[in-house]
């Protein structure tokens, strides 16, 4: 199955050289989870997320098809779009 991955800020460094402007289409096996995707690109290591932890612990936001997803255990489907944003500040 194919999933589109959009990374922002320092996470762009986790993408392969052929990625364009922080976006890449990824082939994953059926049943792959967000955690599988995050680990494949070393996103968890880059952010210092402990095994079994979540990106939200570090303030990062994960969206699947534009909807916030708190659990990295969510199973992905063909055609999903995953976006990972840095912590936001406002004021």
Domains and CATH numbers, the chain: 2-79 (3.10.20)
Q: Determine whether 71 is exposed, middle or buried from the number of CB atoms within 10 Å of its CB (0-12, 13-18, 19+).
A: exposed
Q: Mean pLDDT in the chain?
A: 91
pLDDT at 91: 55
Using CA atoms, how far apart are residues 28 and 10, in angstroms rounded to an integer?
23
pLDDT at 90: 59
Q: Which residues of the chain have pLDDT under 70?
A: 89-91
């Amino acid at each position: 199955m194919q999933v589109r991955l959009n990374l922002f800020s320092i996470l762009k460094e986790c993408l392969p050289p052929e990625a364009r402007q922080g976006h890449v289409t990824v082939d994953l096996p059926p049943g792959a989870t967000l955690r599988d995707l995050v680990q494949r690109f070393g996103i968890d290591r880059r952010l210092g997320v402990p095994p079994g932890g979540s990106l939200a612990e570090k303030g990062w936001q994960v969206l699947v098809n534009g909807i916030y997803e708190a659990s990295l255990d969510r199973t992905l489907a063909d055609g999903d779009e995953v976006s990972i944003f840095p912590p936001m500040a406002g004021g």
